[in-house]
Amino acid sequence: MKTVDNFNFEDKKALIRVDFNVPLNEEKQVTDASRITAACPTILKVLEDGGSAVLMSHLGRPKGKVNPDMSLAHIVDTVSEILGVQVKFVGASSGPEAEAAVAELQNGEVMLLENLRFEAAEEAGGRDYAEALSRLGDIYVNDAFGTAHRAHASTTVVADFFSGSKCFGYLLAKEIEAIQKVMKTGEKPVTAILGGAKVSSKITIIENILDKIDHLIVGGGMTYTFVQAQGGQIGDSICEPDKNQLALDILKQAEAKGVQVHLPTDVIAADAFSDQANTQIVPVDEIPEGWQGLDAGPNSLAAMKEVILASKTILWNGPVGVFEMEPFAGGTKAVGDYIDEATQQGAFSLVGGGDSVAAVKQFGYQDKVSYVSTGGGAMLESLEGRTLPGIAAIVED
């Protein structure tokens, strides 16, 4: 796996695909700069070698049309502040204007191109557009894991024009290594904690990881499909009745592969989907009509704690309750605490997937786990066993 450490960037222009798709407020100010911060080590490596960096990214979903609200001009000051280098900006991502601006770029300088997705050819994987991008650098660096599952011009096709001169940035390399630790090289026992609302959205992940894990902890809304499938009463809890047989099949597959599945035994049930609702702790298979399970109960959490603390490799994808509401955030917080403790004892812990990453950030666990993935969809597709086109484009040289 070639990374930026395999290259000396002296007198070279690095064309770096970053993921600066960051949230902006109404004043167009960056409200969460973590993706920008995460890309800094790669950019600084290029500059310290004596080269220059040409950064390309998308922002939002302009769908191939220029939208001033989604211009990357809005983030230039934030990128400059975080990098400690005044970043230059050009209002084009390719063509004569971009080429002229890049031609004037000196060693030690950074240029940010305009939003790639202002061009329809970006998401379409247009070859001519990819070639135009390729003219803006000597070495191609992909450091955008969040878009590595997309076969776009800037993430995949452009790499065709850099044979022998392409590599991963530090961030993308870390993402690959983290997933490999869970899927291939992780020390046993390996535990996967899968939460979220639906079994259907996690089925491919579950099927792919059953050969790699020893324990599967099921939490969140998909719990109730498993419980109903086994004849339990789930009241008004979220459920996919049409996936009951699928849930039973998963349990059979797990048993055949020697994977222990841990379902909640008790839950915090509420009489409405509201943080003002009345609550009670009930067995997971005896939820009364008119009530719905919204968080893991104390007995469930005690069982999860035992499994997690005995684990050497941990994957966490999805909360175990409706953590956005304070009365139902306790289970997700507790799981975070258990993973923190296991990590301190030497376990490797990987958190990935939108909601679990949001929970980790909300409750301050970013520095208490081994790795927090920056790529939601890309992370999930990796766990499903798919080869991501953005990664394949670098590896297949």
Is 117 one of the annotated binding-site residues?
Answer: yes
Residue 264 φ/ψ, nearest 5 degrees: -60, 145
> Is 354 known to sit in a ligand binding site?
yes
Q: Flag whether 35 is marked binding.
A: yes
Chain center to CA of 165: 27
Consult the annotation and say whether 60 binds a ligand. yes
Is 169 flagged in the annotation as binding?
Answer: no
Q: Is 135 annotated as a binding residue?
A: no
186 is catalytic: no
Active site residue 321: no
364 is catalytic: no
Judge whether 127 is annotated as a binding position: no
Catalytic residue among 2, 127, 198, 361: 198
Active-site residue (options: 64, 108, 232, 377): 377
Active-site residue among 17, 35, 212, 243?
A: 35
Q: Is 383 annotated as a binding residue?
A: no
152 is in an annotated binding site: no
Instruction: Give residues with Cβ within 8 angstroms of 337, minimum separation 6.
Output: none
CA distance linking residue 155 with residue 133, whole number of Å: 11
356 is in an annotated binding site: yes
94 labelled ligand-binding = no
Q: Is 386 annotated as a binding residue?
A: no
19 marked as binding residue: yes
The answer on whether 210 is annotated among ligand-binding residues is no
Does residue 198 carry a catalytic annotation? yes
SS3 labels along the chain:
CCEHHHCCCCCCEEEEECCCCCCECCCCCECCCHHHHHHHHHHHHHHHHCCEEEEECCCCCCCCCCCHHHCHHHHHHHHHHHHCCCCEECCCCCHHHHHHHHHCCCCCCEEECCCHHHCHHHHHCCHHHHHHHHCCCCEEEECCHHHCCCCCCCCCHHHHHCCCCEEECHHHHHHHHHHHHHHHHCCCCEEEEECCCCCCCCHHHHHHHCCCCCEEEECHHHHHHHHHHCCCEECCCCCCHHHHHHHHHHHHHHHHCCCEEECCCEEEEECCCCCCCCEEEEECCEECCCCEEEEECHHHHHHHHHHHHCCCEEEEECCCCCCCCHHHCHHHHHHHHHHHHHHHCCCEEEECCHHHHHHHHHCCCCCCCCEECCCHHHHHHHHCCCCCHHHHHHHCC
State yes or no: 61 annotated in a binding site: yes
**Strand 279-283 relative to strand 266-270: parallel, antiparallel, unpaired?**
antiparallel
Residues facing residue 140 across a β-bridge: 15, 166
Task: Give strand pairing partners of 167.
Answer: 141
The single residue of 91, 108, 126, 354 carrying the catalytic annotation is 354
Residues in the annotated binding site for ATP: 202, 293, 324, 353-356
Residue numbering of the annotated binding site: 19-21, 35, 58-61, 117, 150, 202, 293, 324, 353-356
Feature table: binding site for substrate:
19-21, 35, 58-61, 117, 150
Residues annotated as part of the active site: 35, 198, 354, 377
Residues in binding site for (2R)-3-phosphoglycerate: 35, 117, 150
